[in-house]
Amino acid sequence: VLSALSVPAIAMAEEAAPAAAPASPHTVAYNVGLYSQYIFRGLTQTREDPALQGGVDYTHASGFYAGAWGSNISWLSDGDYYKSSSLELDLYGGFANTIGDTGISYNVGLLQYIYPGRKNPGVKKAETTEIYGSLAYGWLSGKVSAVVSDGAFGYDDADGTTYSELN
């Protein structure tokens, strides 16, 4: 009897429910983590000490994205480049999408590495700007990053330096 009486109430509730609002084309996501160490391009950035990292990302349904990410570091003060520096802040933006129904995706963007702190005299600032582009198909991806700033991670005249990945 209860089942028979509840069916009309369920049907009425379904009819009375308002239509779902369309999904927003904007997405904001964040992340935070504690890691045993920070390794970048095969080199430890924290002298094998733990790293606290976090970031925030904005994406639009069109494929545009922008974000910021940060981590503690020690390599600038460990190597006597900076008197004090313990933060890496990365600002980035770009465009990622797929090429029709091919299953091929691409990503192009700009990435700025910022290292606040007091550098030692005669040392090039570590701030670095890179442009990058990648292609992926299924589990296979390739990416090339190229330095467009005058220096790269404290090295003079490093513009044009590239870093390639195949994963």
pLDDT at 164 over 80: yes
Using 50, 70 and 90 to split pLDDT, how confident is the model at 87? very high
Phi, psi of 131 (to 5 degrees): -105, 150
Its pTM stands at 0.83
Q: What is the pLDDT of residue 123?
A: 87
Q: What is the pLDDT of residue 16?
A: 58
pLDDT digits (tens, 9 = 90+) for 88-100: 999 999 999 999 9
Q: Are 94 and 59 in contact (CB under 8 A)?
A: no
pLDDT digits (tens, 9 = 90+) for 114-154: 999 888 898 889 999 999 999 999 999 999 999 999 889 98
Q: How many Cα neighbours within 13 Å face the side chain of 137?
A: 6
Which has more pLDDT, 5 or 156? 156
pLDDT at 2 over 50: no
What's the mean per-residue pLDDT of the chain? Answer: 89
Q: What is the pLDDT of residue 19?
A: 74
Using 50, 70 and 90 to split pLDDT, how confident is the model at 14? low
* Alpha carbons 136 and 134: distance in angstroms, whole number: 7
